[in-house]
Structure 1
């Protein structure tokens, strides 16, 4: 280790001895300048100046103290054991640039760092020729340097790098220079170590700051996500509560109109919309129908809404896509016909939502508002979920309605069939072999296998109902009901309800929904007897049935499809009757598709014996009598009689005769045909007999009805009623009571 006595250096020109015997020739003021340099460097270090500022100061202050043209600093990098140049000050062009690095192991600097001793090269060029060298030494020589002094930088006894002093002259540096600069190198090492520690601290602080920033960002993101999830959870909870409440509301009824009404109210509360409509339709064959409610401030109003099922309607478009369609500005988009009507009514926007249940298109929900900007505030997810619930509720209501309808239909069919059991049908054997009857059978066979409307024409008592029964039983509809309606026996104010049914509350006394005769005859046939007696307002409804096969219950809003064959009958000349303005001509031509004229009995007298045998055989079983012969005189009277009551009148004569006959011979009282003496005195001779007999039969029939009503205490329906006692259908008995002007208690039949 070199030691220099700076007090001895103060004498100019004085020569000093180091402890190794080497003399140092230094100028007189060198020690002072060196001390000032060290003090200034310490000040700079204490003031926290950086390495660049420190090296700049050293470069400037060492001038005149130590000869040099180039000063450079290189630091060790662990764990790679590299020496990297971090700073260089030169008066010329630099070949060994900052950033250059070389491995320590095996290099010429390794011993220097291990021993801590300086290295002096007097002639770099000669040194490169004689000894192994590193590339860095060659680069310094290329810069024009001819000698160098290399000092290790020690911090706490540990090498951290080296400092290079280079000169363009050979033999520039001595041990005196090394001894003088060693203390300076120590301060530089301390400064570098401090700078390194400060840099590491700053990097650590920067890393901590960045980590804190990342942490803060993460916490901020986490808090945002928590807030978002909390908000979504609250929205989900609110949506769930709303859906539960909405589900309870829309499922509280099994009537589709009530379900829609409740749903529309809730949609209005949720969205503050102005118009809600519903179009129902389950398949392409059924025409859509529906409801609409308009909300005006706090009031609501049911409005009529045309249901458009054309190919360019929203109903069809949404059904095909299966997705909601939103129109935010109806002024710019009028894609469907419904949009023009909504725009004319003052609405700005509309949303079409499909209603699907069990992969089936239930209908279309339309929501309109007069303020288009409200669409951005709607909860679409809640709306779609509510639409799904509404679809299920409507589907359930429709299914329940269908079950209820089928149940009611079955109950009515059972009542109707029980009523039919009391009526004897001879439709299997239309009696008669006359030419007119053979033609009638051919007509029945021709029309039976089709679904064509049939109009049966004929006088009273000719058996028009029997012909209708024969047509039905020979058709493909024979497994279903033939529902018979005597239009003349129905009160004008009740005929629409009887034919088409009514809803609960449709009128006073309508305590429950009731199916009409047309619904009861679905997939079967309906026989409308005395069709000419239908009131004019009901004729319009019948015309719609014939044209569209659709009916509307009284008080109902949904059209109902029916598949029924219509067979009508009348004893009038219906064409003349319609031309006189008493019957709609368009309805007449709708009914007059396949007319069948039933001949009166007087035009087929040859069938009277066969008819008599048929009636005698039937009444014999019922009365437990055996009749084998007919009195000749009675037979002649029957053959000569004109039979204004036709086959029904003949049946009544035979039944009456069977009652009073004894033995095996049927005898008919001549007075029944000729009339009692003194009656019909003013009637011409050719008409006296028929009118007397007709009056006699009417009196007998009237008295029999009165007696039966008296025995049954005025009751008509039921097993203990007058109809059962007379072996008549209740509707037939009511018709006869009306004909004979018998005032009776009209009972309401319960289905």
Structure 2
């Protein structure tokens, strides 16, 4: 660019040629290329110093009350911010009270002392200042200073006034454009925030899992609020500590650790959870707070914002927002993030409610199926029949232990009525309004017994296609009856012991600890103390079960109850078969009373049912010949011939001895007998087959 300098004449007037004015205006049009105020401020003094004969050219702009200045001086000096701040009142006076240019001698100036002093110390003697004003805005001041005492002539001032007006328009356009960009950015930020709220509402409505909610909206939260990580901290199942539930931290997955519990005491998250008040600050403030942050290493993060998730005056968890740079959260940030936390709290509350409803629904379904199975398998009577001294002693024990929550161990032979005693304990207890859940441990394969007791999660093992609720969960607040408890494997016994001692367990495939309030009643037809000596049953579990033992006597030891039982079963089956049986011959009753009943009440029940089926008329007819033929001698023979059970027992014993008592495998006893291992174990138990002690 060719410099333009006005020609001085003796009269002090400046004569400008038309071509020079045209070039002057053409140069000023170049200001339109600048859209940023800082760019214009940096360029403008240099341009004007080339066009105007000036030893120092300064441009001072006012933007939202802030002053900014750029000066081009022959000595290369600048105006410091502290020095510029002393100009403030004089600058506002020029732009407000002085609509016309100000031409002053710096040697005698008293009204604008700060501005005059700044230019005077830099060797200048005269100054001309032009307000940069438009019809609507006061934009700043344009200053020209000279080292000579010659004042600025009117013709030059008039020309520079036009220049100042043109500069004011350019500055106004630049500021308007900058402000519009700021407004546009603010609108875009508000639009993103609104979209974030809408996305969150949609996610809350469509997802009932907190992890899915956070996973769907956390990228938008991080992008909109310039965050590095978002985490959700919720109380664990015990409510004694917090746990990192889910985390979105791209590139920093090791910063927050999932496996470290967060205590409610001496942790910042615990403080926020208990107080319901947010905490915002950097790590220096965190260290001064005296709290150990057990989940956030201090050498990784800079700024933390912890917001309580409050719903219905209850704190559900903590919303954790972090930044890797030292950049504190502003009040608008916290206000908006608190709104987001409110939406997240709604999502978590809905998720917890849905989970609880689902669990209750599943439990009701399981209880319905269980009760339907009970109805199909039971005879629909609950009375214990008999008045013998032995039975009365048992019932007195039942009355004593029923109101308590103590564990009961019922012992007795197979078929002696152990389950009826267990039901009597439940029905006389305060738990009678809740479920009585039973499980025959011998009827469930060893590999599935743990799932039956404690439940499993979907995918916990092959074939686990859905979540299953265990018997302990079904029986919570009620009673669980474990029949044939001696058949529980030695590997599963510690887990059962933990339930009895700690009231805690986990479903298969889950790390979530569940609690149960079920009362345990166990039953067995074997001598557990003998099994303890043989190291087939844990001694600590035996002592925990043997809190209140009840022995149910076999039917042969309570013969006076047999007539009552015969009449009861006869009436029951006759009613079910729509028959009328009102007479039982004395000979029949005597024979039934004198029989030894190795199968106990269950055998008596089956014989009476068969007799009712075959009876035609009102008199019960029992085949006494068949009854006598069933009476085995001491060698297990009936009328000189071995019974079917004895033959089966001998055959199984023979195969077991051949296989050296190995049950499983292709060469095991189960395979040779053509049955499954659990079936073999069940048959061995029924036939009283036990492995002889090793020499």
1:324-369 Cα distance to aligned partner (Å, 9 max, x none): 2346327972868862564399666654332222222212344567
Q: Is the 2:255–2:297 contact (alpha carbons within 8 Å) kept by the matching residues of 1? A: no
Cα displacement string for residues 397-435 of structure 1 (whole angstroms, at most 9, x for unaligned residues):
111112222222222332223223324456642112122
1:435 aligned to which of 389, 414, 421:
389
Q: Is residue 457–residue 464 contact of structure 1 (8 Å, CA) maintained in 2?
A: yes
Q: Does the 8 Å CA contact 1:551/1:560 hold for their aligned counterparts?
A: yes
> What residue is the counterpart of 2:433 in the other structure?
479
Task: State yes or no: 1:373 paired with 2:323.
Answer: no
Q: 1:624 aligns with which of 578, 587, 610?
A: 578
User: What SS is found at the alignment partner of 2:208?
Assistant: coil
1:267 to 1:578, Cα distance in 2 relative to 1, 3 A:
farther
Alpha carbons of structure 1 residues 676 and 251: separation in structure 2 relative to 1, 3 Å: closer
Aligned match of 2:34: none
Q: Which residue in the other structure is 2:231 paired with?
A: 276
Alignment of 1:457-536 (within 5 A): 457-536=411-490
Where do 1:114-263 residues align within 5 Å?
Answer: 215-216=137-138, 231-249=185-203, 252-262=206-216
* Residue 461 of structure 1: how far off its partner (Å): 0.9
The question of whether the paired residues in 1 share the 8 Å contact of 2:316 and 2:345 is answered with yes
- Other structure's SS at 2:199 match: helix
1:642 corresponds to which residue?
Answer: 596
1:565 maps to 2:502: no
Equivalent residue for 2:115?
A: none
**Residue 550 (structure 2) pairs with residue 596 (structure 1):** yes
Query: What is the TM-score when the length of structure 1 is the normalising length?
Result: 0.57
User: 2-side partners of 1:344 and 1:642: how far apart?
Assistant: 79
Aligned CA distance change for structure 1 residues 209 and 403 (closer, same or farther; 3 Å): same
2:372 alignment partner in structure 1: 418
The answer to whether the Cα contact below 8 Å between 2:255 and 2:300 also exists between their aligned partners in 1 is no
1:657 to 611, 621, 625: 611
Max Rg structure: 1
CA contact (8 A) 2:274 2:315 kept: no
Residues 672 and 692 in structure 1, CA contact (< 8 A), matched pair in contact too:
no
Hey, what does 1:606 align to over in structure 2? 560
Q: Is the 8 A contact 2:412 2:553 kept in 1?
A: yes
1:217 and 1:451, CA in 2 relative to 1: closer, same or farther beyond 3 A? farther
Cα distance in 1 for residues equivalent to 2:381 and 2:192: 69
Aligned counterpart in structure 2 of residue 580 of structure 1, from 505, 519, 534: 534
Normalised by the size of structure 2, how large is the TM-score?
A: 0.61
Answer yes or no: is the 8 Å Cα contact 1:280–1:364 preserved in 2. Answer: no
Q: C-alpha separation between the residues in 2 aligned to 1:345 and 1:573?
A: 62
Q: SS of 1:276's equivalent?
A: strand
Q: Distance in 2 between matches of 1:339 and 1:376?
A: 19
Q: Which runs of 5+ in 1 are unaligned?
A: 1-46, 48-201, 700-733, 742-751
> Cα–Cα, structure 1 residues 239 and 312, in superposed 2: closer, same or farther, change >3 Å?
same
Partner Cα distance (2:498, 2:628) in 1 = 49
1:318 to 262, 272, 281: 272
Distance in structure 2 (CA, Å) of the matches to 1:242 and 1:666:
82
Rate the CA distance shift 1:533–1:410 in 2: closer, same or farther, 3 A: same
Match of 1:388 in 2: 342
Q: Distance in 1 between matches of 2:590 and 2:450?
A: 48
User: 1:332–1:404: structure 2 CA closer, same or farther, 3 Å change rule?
Assistant: closer
How big is the shift at 1:472?
1.9
SS, match of residue 464 in structure 2: coil
- 1:642 shift after superposition: 3.0
What SS does structure 1 have at the residue aligned with 2:287?
A: coil
The change in CA–CA distance for 1:459 and 1:676 in structure 2 (over 3 A counts) is closer
Cα pair distance change 1:239/1:265, threshold 3 Å: closer
Q: How does 1:65-80 map to 2 (within 5 A)?
A: none
Q: Provide the residue aligned with 2:634 in structure 1.
A: 684
Give 1:389 shift. Answer: 2.2
- Match of residue 665 from structure 2: none
Change (3 A) 1:684 1:495: closer
**Would you say how many aligned residue pairs link Structure 1 and Structure 2?**
501
SS in 2 for 1:352: strand
Cα 1:476–1:225 change in 2 (3 A) is farther
Q: Deviations over 1:488-540 (max 9, x none)?
A: 22222322332333333333333333322233233322222222223344433
How far apart in 1 are the matches of 2:640 and 2:480? 35
Using the TM superposition, name which of 508-517 and 435-444 deviates more. 508-517
Deviations, residues 162-209 of structure 1 (Å, cap 9, x unaligned):
xxxxxxxxxxxxxxxxxxxxxxxxxxxxxxxxxxxxxxxx98859999
- Following superposition, the deviation at residue 396 of structure 1 comes to 0.9
Contact 1:331 1:348 in 2 (8 A): no
Q: In 1, Cα distance between the equivalents of 2:131 and 2:98?
A: 10
Q: What per-residue deviation string (whole Å, max 9, x for no partner) do you get for residues 96-126 of structure 1?
A: xxxxxxxxxxxxxxxxxxxxxxxxxxxxxxx
Q: Offset at 1:216?
A: 0.8
Would you say the 8 A contact 1:281–1:362 is kept in 2? no
Task: Give the whole-Å Cα distance in 2 for the aligned partners of 1:691 and 1:428.
Answer: 40
CA contact (8 A) 1:676 1:692 kept: no
1:406 and 2:360 correspond: yes
1:455/1:595 contact within 8 Å kept: yes
